[in-house]
Structure 1
Amino acid sequence: MDVLRYVAFSDVPEGGNPAGVVLDAAGADEAAMSAVAAEIGYSETAFVVPRDDGSLDVRYFSPLMEVPFCGHATVATAVAYARRHGVGELTFHTQAGPVRVSTAHRPDGAVSATLVSVPPRTAPIASADLADLLGALRWSADELDPGLPPRVAYAGAWHPVIAAASRERLAVLDYDTEALPRLMSRHGWTTVDLVWRESPSVFHARNPFPTGGVFEDPATGAAAAALGGYLRDLGLVDPPVTLTIHQGDDMGRPSVIGVTVPGGLDTGIAVTGTAVAL
């Protein structure tokens, strides 16, 4: 397989989240895709099989597992595809459902991609599960933002949304590397979306991903979409609204994720970013 390497949600190779992209994985079985993803070692590698109608079947593998949907690898794949075939509209058929993706040239010549997630959902976290999660994160309840209550949010994959009351709390990530992945695997959580709200439209995020073999993600588009759905479901934003999420700063890989939250509870969340080849 011809593996392309892109970094998503950044204009420069030193930022963002790296992703592997295989634009034609026809004939590759699950074992082969898993082996390639493990060898590359990025948080996700996307494997594409073109359909006769011009849409794409896409599967996403981390070094340790397959995930139903990955935002940063979707952006990377869309930009890589546009570089080869031209910008335009696409449909990605993922295990989470169909995801509409559009690419366009920016004035500076870069290609940006916007995906529209499957309809998001938000669910409560049982008090015992929240206590276990905070314990695994080594956070305390009094370090949480009371204005952003803990929930589990979905926009193709499930992510607990846990909001810190301060930027200083978010800056320290020192979780239990045995307890957290056990808890996440038990509940089917892909990453944990740790956030801090700088302003009504600007958020900072960190995303542990130990179940995938990655301590932390520098940019997580699926969690960004889930956060947009969470904010809309809980009435914490007045849609339509555009949000900016900064992620990866504490890792030295700054990433910027644009999130557009439309009106209507059953509409997908739009996530926008750029990607550059490595």
Structure 2
Amino acid sequence: MTTDASGTNPVNRPEPSVEILRYSAFTHDPAGGNPAGVVLDASGLDDAAMLAVAAEVGYSETAFVTGHDEASRRFRVRYFSPLAEVAFCGHATVALTVALAERLGPGDIVLDTPVGEIPVATKVDGEGAVLATLTSVPTRSRPAASTELDATLKALGWTSGDLDPALPPHVAFGGNDHLVLAAASRARLADLDYDFDELAEVMRRHGWTTVHLVWRESPERFHARDPFPVGGVVEDPATGAAAAAFGGYLRTLGLVTEPATITIRQGEDMGRPSDLLIELDPRDTRTRVSGQAVPIG
């Protein structure tokens, strides 16, 4: 089933009988950001049931708490897209930990995920909103092979001339792999009309979760778009896992020489603007990714 990030569910079947919360992450407006499903008690669900819930919710990912120790604020979590399990999802992590902080109070939370331990700090800002900051697993980045690049450009309908030569194509990891391609202009980034099935096949072949398309407005501000056909979604409005990987990309290229905070603006071209903040330290291979999340009606 193919769905979009708005969460529209084209199949009129009742959802499985579990409590499903809905939050939009990396925004203060429910009409913006990236929607995520949150199931705080999935202890009774097997893999097929979690996949069924994610498919019925229809968002790009749903987070499932499969075990917990509330006294230590430690939770075991899995993530599912409408089509498959995903090893790590940043926006669903933000949505989940905001939901937990609203119920348990702000403070540190630890998630045990398929990619490892993810610490998340939550706090309430001056306007009463909960802000979550996750710390990724160690990141890494390598140059993309010509065969990887050529197949992706063909599926996107781009050419090598559409790329920024100062920001070379890389495959970056921040919990899962993402191909990073930098557009030479904002107009190129805005004009996204790709072959869904062809790009999905390329991504499955190489094990990529999204293709992270970026445009550099300044050293501290980037715009991004993330096709996600392998998850059954045309595009993500905010991709925290890709933002974590992008931090590793910037570090590998030597573009971060001292502690820095960088803003990633995503979702603007699809009408769901999102703001992701990443904090980088050249002495640390991990990326800190921050954002708010708000309940959806």
The TM-score by the shorter chain falls in which range? over 0.9
The offset of 1:205, in angstroms, is: 0.1
Secondary structure at the counterpart of residue 192 of structure 1: strand
1:51 aligns with 2:68: yes
Matched residue SS, 1:13: coil
CA separation in 1, counterparts of 2:192 and 2:74? 39
Q: Which among 99, 121, 128 is matched to residue 102 of structure 1?
A: 121
Q: Is the 8 A contact 2:37 2:59 kept in 1?
A: yes
What amino acid does structure 1 have at the position aligned with 2:73?
G
Is 1:254 the counterpart of 2:254? The answer is no
Structure 2 unaligned residues grouped into runs of 5+: 1-17
Counterpart CA distance in 1 for 2:218 and 2:230 is 31
Task: Find the partner of 1:9 among 22, 26, 29.
Answer: 26
Question: Residue 195 of structure 1 contacts residue 203 of structure 1 at CA under 8 Å; is this kept in 2?
Answer: yes
Secondary structure of the equivalent of 1:51?
A: strand
Structural mapping, 1:1-278, within 5 Å: 1-52=18-69, 53-265=72-284, 267-278=285-296
Letter in 2 for 1:62: S
Structure 1 stretches of 4+ moved >2 Å: 49-54
Whole-Å separation in 1 of the counterparts to 2:262 and 2:220: 5
Q: Equivalents in 2 of 1:216, 1:264: separation in Å?
A: 33
- Secondary structure of 1:42's aligned partner: coil
- Confirm or deny: 8 A CA contact 1:228 1:259 kept in the other structure: yes
Distance across 1 between alignment mates of 2:124 and 2:197: 44
CA offsets 1:26-65 (integer angstroms, 9 cap, x no match): 1211111000000000000000133334311110000001
CA distance in structure 2 between the partners assigned to 1:238 and 1:76 by the alignment: 31
- Of all paired residues, the percent bearing the same amino acid is 60
| Secondary structure, aligned partner of 1:79 | helix
Counterpart code for 1:269: T
Relative to structure 2, which stretch is displaced further, 234-243 or 197-206?
234-243
Q: In 2, distance between residues paired with 1:27 and 1:239? A: 46
Letter of the 1:39 counterpart: E
TM-score, with length taken from structure 2: 0.92
Q: Which amino acid aligns with 1:16?
A: G
AA aligned to 1:25 is: A
Q: Are the aligned partners of 1:217 and 1:248 in contact in 2 as well (CA < 8 Å)?
A: yes
| Contact 1:232 1:239 (C-alpha < 8 Å) held by counterparts | no
C-alpha contact (below 8 Å) 1:260/1:271 kept by paired residues: yes
How many residues align? The count is: 277
- 1:90-115 CA-to-partner distances (Å, cap 9, x unmatched) read 11111111111010000000000000
Shift, 1:237, TM fit:
2.1
Superposed CA RMSD: 0.9
Give, in angstroms, the shift of residue 263 of structure 1: 2.5
Alpha-carbon distance in structure 1 between the residues aligned to 2:64 and 2:199: 28
Q: Which consecutive unaligned segments of at least 5 residues does structure 1 have?
A: none
